């Protein structure tokens, strides 16, 4: 994530923990957040893990985080002679959405997928 974007996200946030949460919610990885805020990775991790614990989510060192895609590499498999990466997104503490995407997914294709998700009737 670009530094300028990160600056915009944290503007108006008073505490480091609030900044960590805002950046995490925007999709920044723990490592990116730690570098940007000049904090130890462990500090960032502790804030996010504690939030998950309080929300009833996973309180482990595992890669799953509520509202974000795994930070650790997802499973890569070959399906129908095409290499895909399987992703898991924790929509709720007890509900994960899984999706297999081509490893060479383009920005245009990702945008189309986002539009599809936005069009799903509620």
Closest CA to 33 of 52, 62, 13: 13
Given this model, what pLDDT does residue 59 score?
43
Res. 62 pLDDT band, cuts 50 70 90 = very low
pLDDT (average), residues 29-54: 89
Long-range contacts of 93-102 (CB under 8 A, 24+ apart): 93/52, 93/55, 93/56, 93/57, 93/58, 93/66, 94/56, 96/64
Res. 61 pLDDT band, cuts 50 70 90 = very low
- Higher-pLDDT residue of 115, 103: 115
Res. 6 pLDDT band, cuts 50 70 90 = very high
Given this model, what pLDDT does residue 76 score?
56
């Amino acid at each position: 994530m670009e530094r300028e974007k990160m600056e915009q996200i944290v503007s108006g946030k008073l505490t480091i923990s609030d900044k960590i949460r805002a950046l995490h919610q925007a999709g920044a990885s723990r490592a990116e957040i730690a570098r940007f805020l000049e904090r130890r990775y462990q500090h960032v991790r502790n804030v996010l893990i504690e939030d998950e614990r309080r929300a009833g989510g996973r309180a482990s060192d595992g890669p799953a985080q509520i509202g974000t895609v795994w930070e650790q590499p997802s499973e890569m498999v070959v399906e129908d002679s095409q290499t895909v990466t399987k992703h898991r997104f924790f929509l709720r503490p007890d509900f994960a959405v899984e999706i297999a995407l081509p490893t060479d997914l383009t920005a245009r294709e990702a945008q189309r997928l986002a539009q599809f998700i936005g069009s799903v009737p509620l």
